Structure 1
């Protein structure tokens, strides 16, 4: 199987829209939404994995999962683990298919653990996908600023 840099993922997540959350606590975990993907090519593809490439000191990736945006708009931002029903929209598979010229209703979330003072932002989301017999990787801009602060009451 050949590997190369891909160009099929476009649209909603191609440009980076910075998101911030300034209420994190050391030792706590949070879900960070990764960009929604659109298959801009004329052929279907299967997304195999997604990850955040740059994780600054003070944060650690604990896990990734695939979730659905349901019938609503794609959420952006950071949510404390356990605040909502974490498993309501989660999917059991880590890969999924996107038809040609289609915006996916599935996307990845990263479970982030705060380990200390955060020194930088989470940036650069990388997706690996298969189209035909070729596996590609493609970066989509993502920028999430997480900082320590007073917890949100709730």
Structure 2
């Protein structure tokens, strides 16, 4: 999922994020938010038990209590969608929604986050 970026002059508190349009053939197992430092950077696509995929279940999950992104800054925390292939995938996911607060006011923002995944036997 996109790394949250705060372009405003005040900090924001990210509360939640999710993919809005999960295509048929994919199931969401869950979401997590992890530190770029703890995960050794941003992995674009990983598989369980792959030596290059961080062991997310062992890392601190910031999605449980939310996290703050400073003003005019890129977050050092990013969201991961944990997915399971459950069938033939014919379409792409295209939108993600972030929920956040700024100055005590709740907002949602929908962003493009194209995910094209196809599985071959």
User: Displaced runs of 4+ in structure 1, greater than 2 A?
Assistant: 71-77, 87-93
The number of residue pairs the alignment matches comes to 117
Distance 1:72 1:82, change over 3 A: closer
CA distance in 1, matches of 2:103, 2:60: 24
Richer in strand (by share): 1
CA contact (8 A) 1:64 1:111 kept: yes
CA contact (8 A) 1:127 1:137 kept: yes
* 108, 131, 148: which one aligns with 2:102: 131
Per-residue deviation, 1:70: 1.6
Query: After superposition, where does 1:23-102 map in structure 2 within 5 Å?
Result: 34-70=1-37, 75-83=42-50, 84-87=53-56, 90-94=59-63, 95-102=66-73
Distance 1:48 1:62, change over 3 A: same
CA distance in 2, matches of 1:71, 1:116: 32
With normalisation by structure 1, the TM-score equals: 0.69
Q: Structure 1: which 5+ residue stretches go unaligned?
A: 1-33
Distance 1:140 1:89, change over 3 A: farther
Q: Structure 2: which 5+ residue stretches go unaligned?
A: none
CA contact (8 A) 2:39 2:56 kept: no
Please say which structure displays the higher CA radius of gyration. 1
With normalisation by structure 2, the TM-score equals: 0.86
